[in-house]
Amino acid sequence: MERILLVANDFPYPLNHGAAIDMWWRIQTLKKLGFRVDVVATVKSMPPEEDIQALKAEVDQLSIIQRQRGFKSAAGALPFQVQSRAALQTVALSNEYRAVVMEAEHVASILQNPSLRAHKRILRLHNDEVRFFQELSKSSKNLLRKAFYQSEAVKFRVLSRKIMSRCDALWFISDYERKQYVKKHPADRKKAFFVPPRVDCNAMRRQSLEGCRVLFIGTLALANNSSAVEWYVSRVHQLLCDVVGYNVVVAGNTVGKSTGVLKRAVAPYPNITLIENPKEIESLYGRAAVFVNPVLRGAGLKLKTIDAIQAGMPIVTTSTGVEGTGLVHGKHLLIADSPRSFADCVRTLLHDKPLARTLVAAAQKFVAREFDQEKIIKDSLDALHESGKAKVVDVDG
């Protein structure tokens, strides 16, 4: 049985944020396709033992690499996200692989590892990193962070193209970003695949949608998400407080960072609950009536939108929050970009339960049909297998 090496830019468990869910299901998909999967995960700090054991139960071999912190990692020519994972160059790899799957350019240092024996190099693109860091810079209120994010954007502008040009396949999570890339680099059309997040048709849920609770789930440490919540709280929330029983739950992973700004934003409102690092999110979906994604800036496909659809939630989102999905306003969900229209859409779904259920059914049918990750990954791997051996990529070369 052939092996695949998946190099994760973060620990893919627990399943409490979009990137972890995406990586977790990719592991499951590769296993279902008949591969043995080894994982090298790069982490800020060691995960709890129970999380480590949960991942070990799903993979053949697991290596955990702690990322380097501090000024040295930020000061070099490579992006901090890459330099902090430089230890990937020395992790011991004893197996031979059909392919190495890199979860973002962040883990590109694995390609400099002399013990890596992989016939093909595959890059999973969670975001257009240049655009992502530019948007983070715009969202951040801290001047030092703004400068840091801009620096990362500049560095990724050089590195991303170099890595992408030397990989054998590019797995874009956003079809919009795939099309934009192919437009700029038409010679890469055949190796650029739209690989959406995995959708498990058997796991599609339907919720009662009773009550008037509004839910947001996202990585709270990301400036784009925190600014989205602040926008909703300051511009939309009060427009809905006349709805009887209306309340809001904001939940998500903090990845060890302070959420002081968010806490201060929601503190004046007794009908807003902030839940940091929830152990599970299924019950949060089950007690909500509407899911909101008020993100104003960002790149890539917004996994929180797809996750909410699978969970059976009707959605109100900004145009940014639905970018790259193909989902249509009024058919699969509701899209609004101004505070008043956003509030009106939320109010509509809180009151019109039949419409909410119709949108959920249509959205679930759409993603089940269009987001067949297993078939796309199989087709991509089969095509790569036919094309012969790959050349070794040197990150610095």
**Position with higher pLDDT, 289 vs 202:** 289
16-57 pLDDT tens trace: 777 888 899 899 999 999 999 999 999 989 999 999 999 999
Residues 191 and 45 in one domain: yes
20: in domain: yes
Q: Is 177 found in the same domain as 286?
A: no
Average pLDDT over residues 374-384: 89
pLDDT over 70, % of the chain: 94
Strands (E), the chain: 3-8, 36-43, 61-66, 96-103, 117-125, 169-172, 192-194, 213-217, 247-252, 272-276, 290-293, 315-317, 334-335
| Model confidence pLDDT, tens digit, residues 93-133 | 999 999 999 999 999 999 999 999 999 999 999 888 888 88
| Dihedral pair phi/psi, residue 125, rounded to 5° | -105, 100
Both 141 and 165 in one domain: the answer is yes
- For residue 153, tell me if it sits in a domain: yes
Mean pLDDT of the chain: 90
Question: Using the 8-state DSSP alphabet, how is residue 110 labeled?
Answer: G
Structure confidence at residue 141 as a pLDDT band (50, 70, 90) = confident
- Read off the pLDDT band of 390 (50, 70, 90): very low
Q: How confident is the model at residue 75, as a pLDDT?
A: 65
Structure tokens given for 262: 């968010």
Q: Which of 64-68, 130-134, 180-184, 351-355 has the highest mean pLDDT?
A: 351-355
In this structure, what CATH number is given to the domain that contains residue 330? Answer: 3.40.50.2000
pLDDT tier, 391 (very low <50, low <70, confident <90, very high otherwise): very low
Mind listing the pLDDT tens digit for each residue in 60-95? 999 999 998 765 656 678 999 999 999 999 999 999
Give the pLDDT score at 192: 94
The total number of structural domains in the chain stands at 2
Q: What is the pTM of this model?
A: 0.73
Query: H or E stretch including 74?
Result: helix 71-75
118 and 256 both lie in a single domain: no
| Residue 53 CB neighbour total at 10 angstroms | 12
- Which tokens in the block code for residue 355? 């419409």
* Residue 128, token pair as written in the block: 């257009």
Distance of CA 165 to the CA centre of its chain: 23
Answer yes or no: is 396 within a domain. Answer: no
Q: What angle separates helix 129-139 from helix 143-166, to the nearest 10 degrees?
A: 170
Q: Which domain holds residue 270?
A: 202-370
What is the rounded CA–CA span in Å between residue 342 and residue 296? Answer: 12
Asked whether residue 172 falls in the same domain as residue 44, the answer is yes
